[in-house]
Structure 1
Amino acid sequence: MKKKNLGLNTVCTHTGEVKDTQFKGAVSPIYLSSSYAFEDIDEKRYPRYFNTPNQQALCKKVAALEHTEDALIFGSGMAAISTSLLAFLHKGDHIVLQNALYGGTMNLVLEEFDKYGIEYTFTESLDIKDFKKAIQKNTKVIYIETPSNPLLKVTDIRKVAKLAKKHKLITMIDNTFASPVNQLPATLGIDIIIHSATKYFGGHSDILAGAVAASAEHINHIFQLAKNLGGSLSDFTVWMLERSMKTMGIRVKAQNKNALKLANYLEKHEAVSKVYYPGLKSHEDYELAKSQMAGFGGMMSFELKDEYNVSKFFKSLKLIKPSMSLAGVESTVLSPTQTSHALLTPEERKKQGIADGLIRFSVGIEDKKDIIADLNQAIKKAKKK
């Protein structure tokens, strides 16, 4: 079989395995050594150089899933984001970023870029005209995130890629919410794809990691900085991540299915004022999402009406967990104003459309009827008297 013709679940299961040549085990052996020989060998290995056996094997899996030449694995999603950005941006350079971004990414830009003399512009909207308007003579990078966190806004990937190529700019995308199961930015013209691998890659709420996929040239450029910043991942966690990714295709597709059903259910619920999910026909970006995504993902957000207490709703849940992260097999909810976007000011959150009562919902793989039952009993208890 040709590797490029392998199906999604086959790539998840087999690509990037470390072969157990000694005992012929069915799973990858784990190499925990932090010190390797340097004489009479083809490659000098060192964990901080991202080239231990387990690191290199996992990078092959990520690259295969994202349809790129190469990849790097990092200690966190923010390590992947910051290293990628700083590898291509230097003093006097300018970057265009979409206005709807993960709070950690926005905080990185607002708190650190001025120190490095890096200029930046956030677009006024996700319309391609605003991206074009934001480009300056010293612009080097365009950075997008789609679907966005936490309002699931969708950016036109093809148009952004076309605009960037016209101006000879590097494009980067945070593909975390979609995962390569649902969206392949490289096939749409994007140069560098970034993930918080903590989320759908890990999928079990027990791994902290990041990933970057791109051409061999771009990955080598990022590596030159990465080896100095030291954001590599321990080999035990690399091994756990490779194990977890074997089921990513199955997990994510199950979450897609559940999320679409739950979004439709919540949209009709008398206690809910608004649902944000790109798979809803009422979503303003539905047609765009359908054109660039294979599935709509397991993430959504919704707002309860004013007569319901959000804090009491969280405390009344029995199955769904109020929890900080997302994309695990278990369903979780959180308040973006208290967690993912807490670093932003109220004014910055308001500008993004993030209300204090917004609930971000990461849909798991539980039976739909059980998730609905838990939502309903918690909503009922959250009604103000």
Structure 2
Amino acid sequence: MKSEKLGLNTICTHIGEVKDEQFKGAVSPLFMSSSYAYEDVEVKRYPRYFNTPNQEALCRKIARLEKCEAGLIFGSGMAAVSTTMLAFLHKGDHVVLPQTLYGGTYNFVVEEFHKFGIEYSFAEGFSEADFSEKIQKNTKVLFVETPSNPLMRITDLEMISKLAKQHGLITMIDNTFASPVNQTPADFGIDIMMHSATKYMGGHSDILAGAVAASEEHIKIIWNLAKNLGGSLSDYTVWLLERSMKTMVLRVRAQNKNAKKMAKWLDGHPLVEKVYYPGLKTHPDHGLAKKQMSGYTGMLSFEISEYLNVDEFLKGLKMIKPSMSLAGVESTILSPAQTSHALLSAEERKRQNISDGLLRFSVGIEETEDIIADLEGAFEKVSRKNIV
């Protein structure tokens, strides 16, 4: 299947299959071997070299979804991010990143970069001026996340691409929150796309994986470092991820639809102070999201009334799981102040508008009536205890 006009569901279902030549099975066979022949073969395969049959096939699927030439899969999203950044940043180089960075990436930058002699600056906002003023003579990379975690701010990808080209920089994006279903940054000129494949690609909260998609030239540079760092993925997990991705479009679109309904419902709730969802017209980046995204994601955040106790609200939920990760078929929720942003001081959190009453909500595929009933039950329970 080489047609460029294949739909997303078809790509997810069929691109990147391993053909079962022996038994003609309907799904990809799993090759568990960690040792392959090296004589009289076209490819000398070795799992740490990212070139087993299942690894290569899945990389084709990911690359096709991101409209890129090539891809690589890793043992985690952070393995993908760290390997990719270190492949292009060396001693004396500089990178510009958003202030609202995923906690794992933020910690990697501030705790490890100084050991490599790599400099960095955080853009305080999302405008061209915010990024432009941080670019230095030794800047090599512009790194962005959009939508942001947890306030769902949108970065203008076309602007970032043009700005980078003006300065001869490489652009990288963590595309996890959007997924290729909702956003393909390559359409706007972004060079390298990264994912925590644990999230929407895996989608069932049961595997750990990372992914990168880019040009063949850029992937070769990443691979040259990746084979030395050893962040490859086991073939069993590769097989599970390929299986899970067959339903990614169906899952993500259902989550998009549910999240938009939930955002509207929460926005009208008397015990909710504010809702952060780019699909709402009241969101500051709604117009931009509408322009560069085909769906608004299944992620949103909301602030509950200052009179309510966050911990008691979470304990009042029966179906929605207070949980650290996101993007599974089941709805999950967490307090950023207690998890992803817990290492920041209260002042730093305030500067990023991360209040103690903020909750990040990963909307699943359940019936929205059931999600609403669960939230309403928690609101009623906690309001009786906290409002007199």
Normalised TM-score (structure 2): 0.98
Match of 2:15 in 1: 15
Match of 1:42 in 2: 42
Task: State the Cα distance separating 1:336 from its structure 2 match.
Answer: 1.2
Match of 2:263 in 1: 263
Match of 2:368 in 1: 368
For 1:292-347, what per-residue CA distance to the aligned partner results, in whole angstroms no more than 9, with x for missing partners? 00000000000101111110111111111111100000000011122222333434
Match of 1:173 in 2: 173
Partner SS state of residue 343, structure 2: coil
Distance 1:229 1:354 in 2: 35
Note if 1:28 corresponds to 2:28: yes
Distance 1:16 1:345 in 2: 45
* One-letter amino acid of the structure 1 residue matched with residue 269 of structure 2: H
* One-letter amino acid of the structure 2 residue matched with residue 246 of structure 1: K
Match of 1:356 in 2: 356
Match of 2:157 in 1: 157
For 1:126-166, what per-residue CA distance to the aligned partner results, in whole angstroms no more than 9, with x for missing partners? 11111111110000000000000111010000000000011
Distance 2:326 2:127 in 1: 28
Partner SS state of residue 328, structure 2: coil
For 1:219-259, what per-residue CA distance to the aligned partner results, in whole angstroms no more than 9, with x for missing partners? 00000110011000000000000000000000000000000
Deviates most, 196-205 or 352-361? 352-361
Distance 1:107 1:348 in 2: 15
Partner SS state of residue 3, structure 1: coil
Task: State the Cα distance separating 1:87 from its structure 2 match.
Answer: 0.4
* One-letter amino acid of the structure 2 residue matched with residue 331 of structure 1: S
Matches within 5 A, 1:138-287: 138-287=138-287
Distance 1:14 1:343 in 2: 43
Match of 2:67 in 1: 67
Note if 1:118 corresponds to 2:118: yes
Give RMSD over aligned pairs.
0.9
- What residue ranges of structure 2 are gaps of 5+ in the alignment? none
Distance 1:220 1:193 in 2: 14
Distance of aligned partners of 1:204 and 1:279 in 2 relative to their CA distance in 1, 3 Å threshold = same
Match of 2:338 in 1: 338
Equivalent residues of 1:178, 1:296 under 8 A apart? yes
Match of 2:289 in 1: 289
Partner SS state of residue 337, structure 2: coil
Task: State the Cα distance separating 1:98 from its structure 2 match.
Answer: 1.2
Task: State the Cα distance separating 1:353 from its structure 2 match.
Answer: 1.6
* One-letter amino acid of the structure 2 residue matched with residue 62 of structure 1: I
- What residue ranges of structure 1 are gaps of 5+ in the alignment? none
* One-letter amino acid of the structure 2 residue matched with residue 152 of structure 1: M
Match of 1:101 in 2: 101
Note if 1:52 corresponds to 2:18: no
Equivalent residues of 1:164, 1:171 under 8 A apart? yes
Deviates most, 91-100 or 239-248? 91-100
Deviates most, 341-350 or 126-135? 341-350
Equivalent residues of 1:48, 1:230 under 8 A apart? yes
Partner SS state of residue 303, structure 2: strand
Match of 1:132 in 2: 132
Distance 1:381 1:105 in 2: 37
Distance 2:212 2:344 in 1: 25
Match of 2:320 in 1: 320
Give aligned pairs, total: 385
Task: State the Cα distance separating 1:2 from its structure 2 match.
Answer: 4.2
Partner SS state of residue 337, structure 1: helix
Distance of aligned partners of 1:75 and 1:345 in 2 relative to their CA distance in 1, 3 Å threshold = farther
* One-letter amino acid of the structure 2 residue matched with residue 292 of structure 1: Q
Distance 1:247 1:298 in 2: 15
Task: State the Cα distance separating 1:349 from its structure 2 match.
Answer: 2.5
User: Among the aligned pairs, what percent are the same residue?
Assistant: 69
Distance 1:333 1:136 in 2: 39
Equivalent residues of 1:107, 1:344 under 8 A apart? no
Distance 2:189 2:221 in 1: 19
For 1:241-293, what per-residue CA distance to the aligned partner results, in whole angstroms no more than 9, with x for missing partners? 00000000000000000000110110010000010000000000000000000
* One-letter amino acid of the structure 2 residue matched with residue 20 of structure 1: D
Equivalent residues of 1:332, 1:364 under 8 A apart? yes
For 1:22-56, what per-residue CA distance to the aligned partner results, in whole angstroms no more than 9, with x for missing partners? 00000000001000001111111111000000000
Equivalent residues of 1:72, 1:211 under 8 A apart? yes
Partner SS state of residue 302, structure 1: strand
* One-letter amino acid of the structure 2 residue matched with residue 214 of structure 1: A
